[in-house]
Amino acid sequence: MGGISIRVRGQVQGVGFRPFIWQLAQEMGLRGRVLNDPEGVLIEVAGARTEAFVAAISARAPKLARVDAVEVSPFSGALPDGFEIAPSRGRGAETRVTPDAATCPDCAAEIRQPGRRHAYPFTNCTQCGPRFSILHALPYDRAQTTMAPFLMCPDCRAEYDTPADRRFHAQPIACPACGPRLWYEAAGQAQPGDPIALAASCLRAGGTLAVKGLGGFHLACDASNPAALALLRARKRRPAKPFALMAREGDLPALALLTEADLALLRDPAAPVVLVPSRGALPEAVAPGMSSLGVMLPYTPLHHLLLDAIAGPLVMTSGNLSGEPQVIGNAEARAKLATFADGFVMHDRDIARRLDDSVERASPPMVLRRARGRVPGTLPLPPGFADAPQVLALGGQMKGAICLLKPGQALLGHHLGDLGDALCADEFTRAIADYTALFDHRPALVAVDAHPGYRATQAGHAMGLPVTEVWHHHAHLAACLAENGWPLKGGRVAGILLDGSGLGPDGTLWGGELLLGDYHGFDRRGGLTPAPLPGGDRAAREPWRNALMRLDQAGHADWADDLFPEAPRDVLRQAAARGINAPLSSSAGRLFDAVAAVLGICPTAQSHEGEAAMRLEALAGLSPNSGALGFAQTGPQIDPAPMWAEMRRQMSQGDPAAQIAWQFHAGLAAAFAGQARALVESGEAKAVVLSGGCFQNALLLGLTLRALQGVTVLIHRTTPANDGGLALGQAVIAAARHIAHAERD
């Protein structure tokens, strides 16, 4: 029987794929070879069971692998008598890079058993451990990672060279004899003794610990200790933003109400922070005003050892100064975190790039922050984009992230923070250079937001490449289309786009929109009645400002006077009347703030972005599910004015605030769903898209889906609905314009 050549594309390097193929060939009595090359994995094989062999490649692939395609063609060249793992061929970056992966069960057991890796905090194998966070360049070999300085000892080398070993070609392979080392610092000095035991003592004493993880430093404290929580909040000047938690799986049922979907996501190799309903067992200071907790399982051996020593949950929040990127270097940590931390858990393996923890929900699947464990995963481009050029898209101002289009795939980068911060802007610049070099990307054009004041937009125009400007909410719509594989010629959809704000073509700030569109363009078919944003950006930080404008607009100025007697109402009213620093906006996010302020939720100021809306959602979750506040439809506009009269009536008669909060969510969902359904039923739209940061509100998303039953609805599942997904939408819109232009020519 003649031989065959098998091309396997996808996430197939650095995941134990070649030893898997070697073992499969041994099992089926085949001869040939397997090797890595720039396109993925290449197999040249002959024997009686090649058909079964091909079928098993996808069906039995390693856990970390993502097989996009298995392509078979005849092969007539010479093959060895047995089956071998051959040296890599070529250079380049057409294949995918594996994200960092949580400690696998085998390695987690190994560090707890006698042996040479007992209690070793850098234990890993081909099924787990650092990948993207240590990678300098492709191909993914040890010499191209931050493990290069650590020369393998004979025992590790033997494992690395043995195809049947689970550490065959595990690039970060290490043991205490040859790998990175851990130590504990306090008062600027390394301390003698077991670093894990010293760290645990610090935590048990109520101290704050700086811990070097995979993508950067965390600040940790005992999550059950109110004094420790208060100390960390005071030191970090973070009065209310929820803290992420890390806990052993066995400790979680006492803290949160977990579904099987929650557990499956927690156990995923990406090990994200997962939002789950709280049991209220921990102090309020963990997540003030919230009904949910953000929890993750230990995802490195160091975390496992630390959690075992503490035997309880830990706060594990980003180690950074407020608004700045996460700290990754030892010297940087000493300089910036010394005022926060009583002790440091340090190691000498460098971190190649900053990666925050990903944040997700399990049901419905939802990515709130795409970062460690999820990047640099790629998405297949939808049908019709085969001729797309290489595009670099730069995203927006908040929740910065870039996107690269390469043949057949889109690579949405990791969360970079608010580009209004100078250090985050520096990270953004580094990320562009990093990704384009690492993935051998040569963009033909750059896609940016149409807002001229965004740093990302300015950076794009300075690159010297053709620039495609994309309207903010069109990018949201296209991002959701692309994630869902909507074909380039799939027809127009009704997009419900609800977020904070983005510049619209009419020069106002949009944020509560109904668009009819596709990748090529859009028409605005409806949206919230605009209201002034007095003070501009201050309106996003001080909810009472939005409430004042909305109440005045609805004829309830006297009620606003009663609700906010100490606020400078007259000054704001005069400024709004004169149009001084009071741009018009249809923002749904600011409407959430206004409702929250009227209900007494942080009316004066938000201590972190989205606090008022998050607390409003949590409050609504306490209510029986009944009724909806009314919105009026005046032509294409959805006017919230009628709901204020109903809110005023309910509050005057003492109805629960939770009930009103729930009814606001239901009313907003019903108003937009009704308009979108009409576009589908008229035949103008083929489906409905839900995008924008407001749809990370699980209650609003669920109510909108319920109101759209019977209609095809596309939502975000693997990319953020917020501005973290904008770059994907910009990239496919730019590609669509390029393809359309080429077809016209």
615 vs 121: CA distance, rounded Å: 38
Residue 14 vs residues 171, 262, 349, 606: alpha-carbon distances, Å:
8, 27, 19, 44
- Candidates 347, 255, 240, 353; CA nearest to 296 is 255
Q: Which letter does DSSP use for residue 127 in this model? A: T
Lay out the sheet containing 378-380: strands in order across.
378-380, 409-412, 403-406, 391-393, 445-449, 467-470
Kind and range of the H or E run holding 480: helix 472-483
Single out the catalytic residue among 18, 33, 349, 353. Answer: 18
The type of residue at 23 is Q
500 vs 627: CA distance, rounded Å: 26
Indicate if the alpha-carbon torsion angle 604, 609, 611, 617 is positive or negative: positive
Specify the residue for token string 């830990």.
314
Single out the catalytic residue among 9, 33, 36, 96. Answer: 36
| Residue 648 is among the residues annotated as catalytic for this protein | no
Q: Which letter does DSSP use for residue 149 in this model? A: T
Q: Percentages helix, strand, coil for the chain, rounded to the nearest 5?
A: 35, 20, 45
312 vs 286: CA distance, rounded Å: 14
Question: Cα-flanking dihedrals φ and ψ of residue 331, to 5°?
Answer: -65, -40
| Count of Cβ atoms closer than 10 Å to residue 39 Cβ | 17
368 vs 366: CA distance, rounded Å: 6
Contact 640, 598 (CB under 8 A): no
| Residue 18 is among the residues annotated as catalytic for this protein | yes
Contact 494, 514 (CB under 8 A): yes
Query: What's the 3-state SS for 701-734?
Result: HHHHHHHCCCCCEECCCCCCCCHHHHHHHHHHHH
- Candidates 101, 98, 129, 123; CA nearest to 110 is 123
Specify the residue for token string 């009103």.
660
341 vs 357: CA distance, rounded Å: 20
Indicate if the alpha-carbon torsion angle 296, 299, 304, 310 is positive or negative: negative
- Please give the positions annotated as active site: 18, 36
